[in-house]
Structure 1
Amino acid sequence: MLARYYLKSLLSNKALWGWGVGFMAFWLFMGSYVFGFNMVSKTEDLGYTSVWFSLIGLISGSIIATSVAYSIYYANSSLAYGFRFTKLKPSSYIFSLMGSTSVAGGIIGSFIIALTILLFSSRTGFLILPIYPEFSILMFIITGMFMFLLSAVLVIFANNYTGLKSISFIVFIPQLLSYLFGFSELGIPLPSTVVYASPFSDITRLLFQTYYGKPSPLNISNGTGPALNPYILMVSLLFWIVLLFVIAMFLVKRIRPRSIEEGRQV
């Protein structure tokens, strides 16, 4: 029941659709029609498209994280009393919202895939389809799971220990990190150890592979450098998901009731 209600709430969130799909469509348009597109072969076209797809996929996931963070922020007081006086358990709350966010991530990811195909294919004059679209959807689902857990940890930690005065900044941390790691892929490549260790880089590189069909090179912007091991990328991402889940469970069991007015104070 909770999962269904929360999924409906996410899918009816106009801001989520506006920023998570509408604004991403703008960036995809910029990537396909405005920025450099001087490719000489279909393989290069596919590689260029895959880079933009992976970057936009990461950022759209982080926008879901912001919506989730605000939901948890507004619910903090009711959760504190709900866990104590009702049948609602912290584990069922985490699992329900994690499942709902994952499904929402998959649905929004489907639109990102469709927009990528439409815009980049119209630019080149031939269809540029993802090699493994089913794995692209799976990656959006996993990304939704990761972004929910990251948001939950950040907001509940602030709620429990540091206060909510900085909540307007905290809810945007996933987006800031996504832009930081995402656009860093377009410049000087990060060391492979950093790429493997960063869940944001893991998401980008795995999304790239699902569209391109081959492992991501270290320098994703020009296709040079050694190919990254997708199994290590996935293991690293799953490790972060498990770690954040454990931390989220620890924090949500100790959630404290706080006034949301605290977050509006300067």
Structure 2
Amino acid sequence: MPINIPEQLPARGILKKENIFVMGESQATHQDIRPLNILILNLMPEKERTEAQLLRLLSNSPLQINVSFLRTATHESKNISKWHLEQFYTTFERIKSRRYDGMIITGAPIEHIPFEEADYWAELTEIMEWTKTNVTSVLNICWGAQACLYYHYGIGKYELPKKCFGVYKHTLTDPTVKLVRGFDEEYLAPHSRYTETLKEQILASEDLVLLSHSEEAGPFIIMSKDEKHIMLTGHLEYDADTLAAEYNRDANKGLDTQIPENYFPGDNPLEQPLNRWRSHAHLLFANWLNYYVYQETPYQWD
């Protein structure tokens, strides 16, 4: 599918080198179709890397998508230029009167603190409340998934004895659900987090269904029964080298960091890791866009 993104966005050059179909506004406006409007709340520190990862996955369908990036107004990002934020991002105050077909809320490296202690928690809860009426479907990733579970369903996060860090096997609880249509019975996905969501609390909820689970990494794909919220506790969007970059960053800081499990060939950090989850990442995003956004959103919002 073509994705309509700003001409100067750095991710545009990365995607074009990969032969991913991107277009500018002038070309997009001449297509006589109703594009989907997707809003991405990017809470990750390395925003440009996350932009490219998500846009790459959103490109894998025949639908045209207009993508907008949202940032928090109550938190100052330190790993991205002010120019980049002002050029390519907007704030909630500017868009809260609009409606979106789909939204993605990313992870954030703040698992070690209670949700309420995040400096943008009040703003995030306002945004999450707004999605109930202004967004057709919300895809929440890692910390974003935990925040969604906590705010909407009262399910907390719990500290792990050691970091869940690596690539793990997952199985499906119900392969007939549209979101996981086409998935293998066993597949791989990366995780990188210090906290977990308890399987027992998800199964006990009258509002949630557990779609996929890992014996090592715990619950992975969770969906609300009204199909409004989809929660991924891991990172299918990660590149092959993302966990390696996290490991090297922490090792260079002198932190006692563990080698990601089931990741480096022979558990040797000098070896190049392979992306063994790419096909399922593309499949999940394509299923989300088709079945939970495109098929459910009105052609014209009231």
TM-score (norm 1): 0.26
Higher-helix-fraction structure: 1
What is the TM-score when the length of structure 2 is the normalising length? 0.23
